[in-house]
Chain A
Amino acid sequence: MPIDNVPRTGASASLTPFLDSYDAAALLPPPPRMRTSAAGDRLHDSYAGEPDAAPVAPSSLRESPFLSEYAESEEEAGDPMGELVDELLDGLHDEELDEAIGALADELRGLVAREPALEAENDGVREAMLRETVAPLVRAAQADIGRAAQAIGALDLGTAGEEEIDAAVDAAPLPEVTSPAFEFFLKGLRNKIKKVARSAARLARRGLTPALGLLLKPLLAKLQVLAKPMIDKVVAFALDKVPEPYKPLVATLAARLRGQVQGAATAVQGGSEPAPNAEPAEPTATTAPVPQEPATPDTAQAQQELDMALADVALAGDRVDREVIESGQVQPVVARDPYADLTRARERFVREITQAGGAEEAEVAVERFLPAVMVALRQGIRFFGRERVVGLLGKPIATLVAPLIGKKNAPALGKILADIGLRTFLHAEVDPATELEVAGQAIAATVEETVRRLAQLPDELVEEPETLAALAHEAFEASVGANFPATLVRSELRETERPGAWVLLPARGRKRVKKFSHVFDVTISPAVARSVRGYGSSTLAGLFRDRLRLPADATVAARVHLYEAVPGTSLAAIAQTEEARGLGSSDAAVWSQIQPLTPEAGLLLLGSPGLGRELPDGAEPSVPLVGQRFYYLEIAEAPPRPLGRESHVRVAVDPRQGQIRLGLYLSEVVAQKVATALRAKKPAVTVVADLRALLAPATGALGHANAHGLVRIHGLRRLGATPARAGAAGRGARQALRRQLGSLALNWAWKHLAANLDAVAPELIAKTDGPEDGVRLVFSFHVPGGLAGVGRLFRGHSHHVSDWPPRAPSRTTLTIQAGPRHA
């Protein structure tokens, strides 16, 4: 049936997101009338295109992060146990182990993806195969920890320093394993052993624990026991499952001490809370949603839980059952698979909705589908409660999709969608059954996104059924704009005028990602490359220069591939399955080329800001968020795989120690430019000026609004982090303070480097001579006074800091290290 023949009534086209040529509006009811309540007023404003502005900080706040309200409030921290746990967790955590766990999960995922037969197998078979694959790693890890424990045990711990303990751990070569990811993991575990020893030593020095030897033994025994469940967790991650979180004793203990059992229990869920600044100030259902839901389990959970377990032993030593710790009895890893449930529910919905005879049958299909969508949506459950949502949303959504469905309409819609989308990927004709499925999938994706958008709204906006129905209509329209080709959608709802459609891939089996069917040919000028930001301090210019080794002044011709994360998406899986030049592997060096498609990137690269999605503060590439969009630049001149890492900057603030550390990683390209200048005996001031210019794109990110991941505050890792009572204004103050801390540290670093470059030049040159990629300058600034107040502010305890900012650090040290590692 030609698509134009869809029956129409006289209803206004403006009521449907679709164009007249596909007038689904015919069967739509008029939109619910707006209420005039306070919530409704805000809603009305958003209809008028002027959403409420986010609270604007007064100019004094922009200059100084300390609001008067903080200075006036006098509540002090008074939480020594919580701070001790934080300190311990900070000391135990190792970023390289996080990377190693991520790399291991990527490798295991790649293993499944490379074996089509395995991909088709059931979960049990896949899991058994992966466990068999990692069995040698488990044995090697446990043996290495046992050996290291013995070596440490042989030391005189009363006198042994950190270097001696490190040397004991590294005395034997790493166990031989079959893959680089396994080796990386074992290296990470050795870091962990060292950190365990250092943390224990710190506790012993402060007299908080029994003698060091008595503490270290059970700690390392626990680590040895927990190596297997940790690796089992990684297997679960690789299969897109979500392991049940660990319930630490210390959390309960610390919380009891503070009388905040509930708060602590929530805080230790290991990434289960949204990022501190994730909530939009005043969201509406029509604005592009800020992605918030992790599309894949956060592999950092594995180490977080390991650290909790170790903290249990260290701090609650007398209370825990040593026999359990040392007997090796641990609970098996239990993991759930919400994405598989969603996949099955989506498949059923697609079947039902394409066969549905009308709105009533559609309502049944929608109501059966919504629970699975909600289960996959953490916030959905949090905000609404499943029962209520199904009851309130089922009918309005079913009414909205009704014009698209059934044997009459769905085939025609499917034909159009297949023409624009799927056929591009299959390079072949698409049969009618598949066309029908494509139509169903587009509707399913629209329903899922509608629910996601609604789930982000504050509770008060969705209290009333009528308001919810109106919001559902709004959200549905916006979701249609995001999931249907521009040619079918009213112009004001289109995300882009470019041809193309989002298609769920792979065509068969579990869906891993949505891909835009059109691949854009673009040229990227150096100025644009400098302006397009990625994660952290990354920019396109940095990627081009440092990793793809393209000339700095080159205009780059590229093909832009667009992706959208769905539940279960990982960048590693995208990179593994894509055949575009430069992809084809789940290796982190490869998938890390996939960049977040922000509105800014959409505008500068494609001229379509609507295609982009805001990047939430603190978002990490290892945990894509559902609905988040990405792009990959396929560049003919680029090497087959990127080389090295991009220059970056990190700041770590340790209020307890009164120390700010700034790590400046100079990529191999930048490091060699500096070394060449130093060999040529250029004046220090010139070298530093050139270096500042070379690193400007990366260091500029410290002043960017999204500096969350770049300036890390110690002591906020688990307990008491980001208190709710600070509110939005508190978030603004903390953001401003992060920026200030970053800028301060950077200025001190440049000054110190300019003053000392001649002295450190020989060491710097020597460190660039080796085979390692790049060089790391780590500045440690000891700040007199001041930082303790900063720490309390970040914990949400108001405090007045009279001598802030400090003029200069009391002492600065600079260490130079070869190769990339985090500060």
Chain B
Amino acid sequence: MPNPLPAVREQLVRQVVHWSAAVDELGDLGRFASPQAWRALERYLDTAIESAMRASLDRLRRQCALLRARLDAAETEREIAGARRELLSFRRRYVAVETMLDFYGDAINTRTSPALATYLNACDSLARESMRVLLEPLGLRTPAVLTYLDKGLGAAILKAGLRLWDGRSVSPVAAIRLVRHNLHRPTSLLHETGHQAAHLLEWVPELAAALETGVSGEIGRLWAGWASEIAADAYAFVHTGYAALAALHDVIAGDTDSVLRVQALDPHPTGYLRVLLGHAMCRRFFGAGPWDALARAWTHVYRVNDADEISAALLSTSVPRLPAIVEIVLERPYRALRGRSLVDRIDPSRVRPEALQELARAGGGALYRSSDWIRRECLRLLALSGYRAATMPERGDEVLREQEEWMRALGRMAMAA
């Protein structure tokens, strides 16, 4: 019987040549995102992403070169088997790197037109500003943000600093998915940046512990499991007030079961409680207001009695504790926040309706056009636009036009020189 090793080796050589060529193909980043889309990014954002992509590619190239060298040197059956194992491992790495490149390429490619690119640039700025105001005073660097557009109901984030698919690269930016239906109501951005900020400050474990001990009994552990999402909701609230609650309401307001069912492993609080927690935050910091009507309608449409027995019990037990939970989340000092509470760090009274009205009065006709107002007050402008959209639906078109005007101006400011 002829020695099979040369044939095995030959098959391996062909495969390695194939994968080597495939790696070369990956090197053209223009194949993942169009040059126009790359150019539409804020200059330092594209540098950060491209550097990360190229670093992964370089690592893959080195691994490929190593694989070729190993195969070239392989003579014995054992050595050839080792090269084959290496090839299989390389294929996995290739797919991981390709997945990463595809992810960023797709994200960048959502800037399909100059208008959309400008709008998403504005979202990047809003997201970054929302983190800067918390992180900078604490001596932490604000990560770059890449907002991209996708289908679906809810936003999501790939946090900066996390390990990526290849297990080696680190996410260079906070990549935030914004869903199309919420493009003009992007308060969900701030929920996602809340995740990023909490991650950088390591606030979630501390908050979870506080919730577990602060909310007595069985439901304490339940609420502790939701700490990550509660922190993010609280973050959106302190930045944009009622606008965040209204937008959250509209995303969550699905069928009865999805709103009322308590799922043990879901990191999100049950929809029913999430909205009522937002309402409790508004009540605590703003007093009476349009959020009361929202809560009345909410509890009228979604009745605890319609939930399954276990969920109904948990919901009923939780509702009276919401004011206490608000206190734990927003007003209690945390080590992560350097001994201060979240509302000490970001004052929600700046986005109470009276304050927003005062902002509109002070800014007058310049509010949505002046580079000074837009850059200085972009987060409160988002709160104001969201508040007006939520409370004046009959003037929805006008509110939308105003919001587009200032967001496009903000996006243009963020464009590279």
- Chain B binds chain A: yes
Residues of A within 8 A of B (CB): 549, 581-585, 587, 589-590, 636-637, 639-641, 643-644, 668-669, 671-672, 675-676, 679-680, 765-766, 768-771, 773
Residues on A with beta carbons closer than 8 Å to the beta carbon of B362: 676, 679-680
- Contact A640 B373, beta carbon cutoff 8 Å: no
Residue of B nearest to A670 (CB): B372
The residue on B at minimum CB distance from A591 is B417
The verdict on B363 contacting chain A, using a C-beta distance below 8 Å, is yes
How long is the Cα–Cα vector from A583 to B373 in the complex, in angstroms? Answer: 25
Closest to A546 in B: B372
Give complex CA distance A800, B405 in Å. Answer: 59
Closest chain-A Cβ to B114's Cβ sits at a distance in Å of 14
Are B364 and A675 interface neighbours, CB within 8 A?
yes
Which residues of chain B are near A765, meaning CB under 8 Å?
364-365
Complex contacts, B134 vs chain A, CB 8 Å: none
Q: Flag whether B181 is at the interface (Cβ < 8 A).
A: no
**Complex interface: chain A residues within 8 A of B42 (CB):** 640
Q: Is B414 in contact with A768, judged by CB distance below 8 angstroms?
A: no
With A584-B43, A765-B364 as contacts: A770 and B416 at CB distance below 8 Å: no
- Interface members, chain B 308-338 (any A CB < 8 Å): none
Closest-by-CB residue of B relative to A667 is B372
Given known contacts A582-B417, A672-B370, A769-B364, A639 and B44 CB-to-CB distance under 8 angstroms: no
- B 348-367 to A, binary, CB cutoff 8 A, 1 in contact else 0: 00000000000001111110
Identify which of residues 112-143 in chain B touch chain A, using a CB-to-CB cut-off of 8 Å. 136, 141
Residues of B within 8 A of A769 (CB): 364-366, 369
Q: Is the beta-carbon distance between B372 and A668 smaller than 8 angstroms? A: yes
A585 to B371, CA, bound (A): 21
The residues in B between 63 and 87 inclusive whose CB is less than 8 angstroms from any CB of A are none
Report chain A residues within 8 Å CB of B365.
765-766, 769
4 extra interface residue pairs, beta carbon distance < 8 Å, beyond A549-B375, A584-B43, A679-B361? A583-B417, A641-B417, A675-B364, A680-B362
Enumerate the 7 nearest inter-chain pairs by beta-carbon distance, A residue then B residue, closest first.
A769-B365, A585-B417, A641-B417, A672-B372, A668-B372, A590-B417, A771-B369
CB contacts (< 8 Å) of B370 on chain A: these are: 668, 672, 768
Q: Which range contains the number of B residues in contact with the other chain? A: 20 to 34
Q: Can you sample 9 A-B contacts with CB below 8 Å?
A: A582-B417, A587-B417, A636-B141, A637-B136, A641-B417, A676-B363, A765-B364, A765-B365, A769-B366
In the complex, number of A-B residue pairs with CB atoms less than 8 Å apart: 65
Residues of B within 8 A of A589 (CB): 417
Interface residues of B in 273-302 (CB under 8 A from A): none
In the assembled complex, which residues on chain A have CB atoms less than 8 Å from the CB atom of B361? Answer: 679
- Interface residues in B365-417 (C-beta closer than 8 Å to A): 365-366, 369-373, 375-376, 409, 413-417
Residues of the B chain whose Cβ atoms lie less than 8 Å from the Cβ of A585? 416-417
Q: Is the CB of A641 within 8 A of B416?
A: yes
A576 and chain B: residue at smallest CB distance: B417
CB nearest neighbor in B for A590: B417
Contact status A640-B371, CB under 8 Å: no
> What is the interface of chain B, defined by CB distance below 8 A to chain A?
42-44, 136, 141, 361-366, 369-373, 375-376, 409, 413-417
A771 and chain B: residue at smallest CB distance: B369
For A668, the chain B residues whose CB sits under 8 A away are 370-372
A640 touching B43, Cβ below 8 Å: yes
Nearest opposing residue in chain B for A768, CB measure: B366
Write out the residue numbers on chain A whose beta carbons fall within 8 Å of the beta carbon of B372: 549, 668-669, 671-672
In the assembled complex, the CB of A329 is this many whole angstroms from the nearest CB of chain B, namely 42
Q: Are B371 and A770 in contact (CB under 8 A)?
A: no
Known interface pairs A768-B366, A769-B365; A672-B43 also in contact (CB < 8 Å): no
Contacts of B414 in A (CB 8 A): 639-640
Are A679's CB and B415's CB within 8 A?
no
Q: How far is the CA of A169 from the CA of B291 in the complex (A)?
A: 57
Q: Which residues of A contact B44 (CB under 8 A)?
A: 581, 640
What's the Cα separation between A668 and B367 when bound, in Å?
12
Q: Which residue of B lies closest to A672 (CB)?
A: B372
CA distance A589 to B365 in the complex (A): 26
Complex alpha-carbon distance, A45 and B136, angstroms? 55
Q: Are B369 and A679 in contact, CB atoms less than 8 angstroms apart? A: no
- Separation of A589 and B416 alpha carbons in the complex (Å): 12
Complex Cα spacing A676 to B365, Å: 11
Which residues from chain B contact A679 at a C-beta distance below 8 Å? Answer: 361-362, 364
A410 → chain B, closest Cβ, in Å? 38
With A679-B364, A765-B364, A769-B364 known as contacts, the answer to whether A643 contacts B417 (CB < 8 A) is no
Q: Which residues of A contact B364 (CB under 8 A)?
A: 675, 679, 765, 769
Q: Do A643 and B375 have beta carbons less than 8 Å apart?
A: yes
Cα A585 to Cα B415 with chains together (Å): 12
Which of A640, A770, A773 meets B415, CB within 8 Å?
A: A640
Question: Which residues of the partner chain A approach B373 to less than 8 Å between Cβ atoms?
Answer: 672
In the bound complex, CA of A584 to CA of B43 (Å):
9
Question: B369 to A644, Cβ gap below 8 A?
Answer: no
Query: In the bound complex, do residue B371 and residue A644 qualify as a contact, i.e. CB atoms below 8 Å apart?
Result: yes
- Chain A: minimal CB distance from B361 (Å): 7
Contacts of B363 in A (CB 8 A): 672, 676
A675 to B363, CA, bound (A): 8
Bound: A680/B373 CA distance, A: 16
Contact: A643 with B369, CB < 8 Å? Answer: no
Give the shortest distance, in Å, between A724 (CB) and chain B (any CB).
Answer: 44
**Would you call B371 and A643 a contact (CB within 8 A)?**
yes
Establish whether residues A639 and B416, one from each chain, have CB atoms under 8 Å apart when the complex forms.
Answer: no
| Most chain A C-beta atoms within 10 Å of own C-beta, residue among B363, B364, B376 | B364
* B417 engages A640 (CB within 8 Å): yes
Q: Would you call B417 and A584 a contact (CB within 8 A)?
A: yes
Interface centre among B363, B366, B416 (most CB of A within 10 A): B366
Q: When A585-B417, A640-B415 are in contact, do A773 and B371 touch as well, CB less than 8 Å? A: yes
A687 to chain B, nearest CB (A): 14
Distance from B83 Cβ to chain A, minimum over Cβ atoms (Å): 34
CA distance A585 to B141 in the complex (A): 26
- Cα distance A679–B361 in the bound complex, in angstroms: 8
A634 CB to closest chain B CB (Å) equals 11
B contact residues around A637 at 8 Å (CB)? 136
